[in-house]
């Protein structure tokens, strides 16, 4: 049996990036992907006759990772900027009514750079704004780092936590602000805060001057194309990609590593695990608490008032709003290519469900209700022409799981790639995968030194 140079487990964007890098460096690479197609959380669907994303749909421009990969691999894709309308926030205002307002222009994870700015004050109300404006004059935080929710409340007051930080944290990171720390979510902001002693000053120093939601790019025709083209260049470089191939076990033997798939073992010098967290935990023999799945509904809606984009590119929802949705993306209001492809008056809307909410957005009536609450446009169930409900069972990697997986992989001399190692999002996953591939090409056997890293 041939001993491969590298077996990559998982054909998501991380696995494909590593396969391309390793194959073009001359390594004999096999990618094992359990699904029928590669791409992982970059997946194509067809709604209203138009190809759209059923997973990730944009990438953050805080790193040049995606742009560099496209240039270096010469991927034949075109970048698309989002339309300038920006996103809104839905929150519970006075008398319990749902209010909507543009997201503050200058904020990071909902933490405002200027609590008195009109776009922040409108959301916080008078008392909330007064309290938040005191942040600059508070003493620096001492002792252990509190959760992001506690930190935001301590520094800015409860209104900033409920109306801004919690909705942003849940919709972008799929985690409660009470269960994460700022140092893990945004290390640069935490460092800036430690230096300046004020979060307002730290956000002011780092927040882009552009409208919230505009520090992203998409790809003409959908982000799923990135994975499709990456697979094509990996194949051309000589990688072997085996779909429908679930890896069951990684067996370390005196003679090397065996990757066990159904009815077969693949001997290899190197293994990269680039799966979701639960799959990685099974392969590495780690016990981790299961995370809630991510649920998304993509709906085709024919409603002229909705097509007029009443909430710009979409809505992020505060937890106290009475709806099973935590975010809405109005696809054709965000991407020109989608607007151009859809018939006039037809919109495509992505609704992501609150964590733990199952079945709340999978009927036309439920979708119509959620759209009405979040956009203010009365949509009838009959206007919801089609809906596609997608469940991503292994998308969220809580910090404790990441630490456990990193330790277990290092102990076994196995490299860990993808969102489980780098954090959520292409802006982190792709540069991490490329750095890992460079290290693997330079040191093509597992390093002994890495085995005991803690």
Query: How big, in percent rounded to 5, are the helix, strand and coil portions of the chain?
Result: 40, 25, 35
CA–CA dist 6, 144 (Å, integer): 42
Chain CA centroid to CA 343, Å = 29
Closest contact distance (angstroms) between CB of 272 and ligand FAD is 11
Half-sphere exposure of 17 (CA within 13 A, CB side): 29
Closest contact distance (angstroms) between CB of 11 and ligand FAD is 5
CA–CA dist 361, 365 (Å, integer): 8
Task: Name beta bridge partners: 2.
Answer: none
Task: Name beta bridge partners: 12.
Answer: 39
Chain CA centroid to CA 276, Å = 12
Nearest 5°: phi and psi at 247? -85, 130
Q: Which region, judged by CB under 6 A, interacts with ligand FAD, from 57-65, 206-214, 318-326, 338-346?
A: 57-65
Examine residue 63 and tell whether it contacts ligand FAD (CB under 6 A).
Answer: no
Q: How many residues does the chain have?
A: 454
Q: Which of 104, 221, 222, 418 binds ligand FAD (CB under 6 A)?
A: 418
Closest contact distance (angstroms) between CB of 120 and ligand FAD is 25
Examine residue 231 and tell whether it contacts ligand FAD (CB under 6 A).
Answer: no
Examine residue 275 and tell whether it contacts ligand FAD (CB under 6 A).
Answer: yes
CB-count burial class (<10 Å; 0-12, 13-18, 19+) for 269? middle
Q: Which of 180, 392, 401, 437 binds ligand FAD (CB under 6 A)?
A: 392
In the bound state with ligand FAD, the residue whose beta carbon lies nearer, of 118 and 356, is: 356
Examine residue 250 and tell whether it contacts ligand FAD (CB under 6 A).
Answer: no
Q: Which of 30, 47, 55, 402 binds ligand FAD (CB under 6 A)?
A: 55
Give the number of other CB atoms < 10 A from CB of residue 245.
Answer: 19
In the bound state with ligand FAD, the residue whose beta carbon lies nearer, of 159 and 296, is: 296
Binding residues among 419-438 for ligand FAD as defined by CB under 6 A: 419, 424-427, 429
Examine residue 14 and tell whether it contacts ligand FAD (CB under 6 A).
Answer: yes
For the window 281-320, what string marks contact with ligand FAD as x by the rule CB under 6 A? -------------x-x------------------------
Closest contact distance (angstroms) between CB of 58 and ligand FAD is 4
Closest contact distance (angstroms) between CB of 215 and ligand FAD is 12
Instruction: Find the distance separating the first CA and the last CA of the chain, reported in whole Å.
Output: 35
CA–CA dist 21, 434 (Å, integer): 7
For the window 122-161, what string marks contact with ligand FAD as x by the rule CB under 6 A? ----------------------------------------
Instruction: Supply the DSSP string of 97-148, one letter for each residue.
Output: -EEEEEPPSSEETTEES-TTSHHHHHHHHHHHHHHHHGGGGSPPP-SS---H
Closest contact distance (angstroms) between CB of 35 and ligand FAD is 4
In the bound state with ligand FAD, the residue whose beta carbon lies nearer, of 276 and 398, is: 276
Chain CA centroid to CA 221, Å = 19
Which residues lie near ligand FAD (CB under 6 A)?
A: 9-15, 32-35, 40-42, 55-59, 246-247, 274-276, 279, 294, 296, 392, 395, 418-419, 424-427, 429
């Amino acid at each position: 049996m041939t001993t491969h140079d590298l077996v990559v487990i998982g054909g998501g964007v991380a696995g494909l990036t590593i396969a391309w890098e390793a194959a073009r460096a001359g390594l004999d690479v096999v990618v094992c992907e359990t699904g029928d197609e590669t791409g992982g959380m970059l997946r194509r669907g067809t709604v209203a006759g138009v190809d759209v994303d059923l997973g990730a749909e944009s990438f953050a421009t805080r790193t040049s990772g995606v742009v560099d990969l496209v240039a270096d691999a010469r991927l034949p894709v075109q970048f698309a900027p989002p339309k300038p309308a920006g996103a809104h926030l839905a929150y519970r205002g006075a008398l319990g009514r749902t209010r909507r307002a543009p997201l503050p222009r200058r904020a990071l994870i909902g933490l405002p750079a200027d609590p008195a700015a009109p776009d922040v004050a409108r959301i916080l109300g008078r008392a909330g704004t007064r309290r938040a404006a005191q942040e600059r004059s508070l003493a620096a935080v001492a002792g252990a780092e509190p959760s992001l929710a506690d930190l935001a409340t301590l520094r800015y007051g409860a209104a900033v936590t409920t109306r801004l930080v919690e909705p942003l944290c849940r919709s972008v990171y799929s985690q409660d602000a009470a269960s994460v720390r700022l140092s893990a979510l945004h290390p640069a902001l935490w460092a800036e805060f430690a230096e300046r002693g004020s979060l307002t000053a730290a956000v002011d120093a780092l927040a882009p001057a552009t409208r919230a939601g505009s520090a992203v790019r998409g790809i003409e025709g959908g982000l799923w194309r990135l994975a499709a083209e990456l697979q094509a260049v990996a194949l051309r470089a000589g990688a072997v990609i085996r779909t429908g191939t679930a890896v069951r076990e990684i067996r370390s033997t005196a003679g090397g590593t065996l990757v066990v798939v159904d009815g077969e073992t693949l001997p290899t010098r190197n293994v990269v695990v680039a799966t979701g967290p639960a799959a990685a935990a099974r392969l590495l023999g780690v016990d981790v608490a299961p995370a809630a799945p991510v649920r998304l509904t993509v709906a085709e809606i024919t409603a002229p008032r909705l097509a007029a984009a009443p909430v710009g590119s979409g809505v992020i929802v505060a937890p106290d709003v009475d709806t099973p949705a935590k975010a809405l993306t109005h696809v054709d209001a965000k991407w020109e290519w989608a607007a151009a492809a859809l018939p006039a008056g037809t919109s495509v809307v992505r609704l992501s469900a609150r964590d733990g909410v199952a079945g709340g957005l999978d009927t036309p009536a439920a979708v119509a209700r959620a759209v009405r609450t979040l956009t203010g446009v009365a949509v009838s169930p009959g206007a919801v022409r089609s809906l596609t409900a997608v469940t991503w069972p292994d998308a969220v990697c809580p910090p404790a799981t990441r630490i456990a997986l990193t330790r277990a992989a290092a102990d076994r001399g196995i490299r860990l790639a993808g969102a489980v190692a780098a954090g959520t999002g292409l802006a982190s996953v792709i540069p991490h995968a490329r750095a890992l591939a460079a290290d693997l090409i330079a040191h093509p056997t597992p390093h002994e030194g890495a085995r005991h890293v803690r």
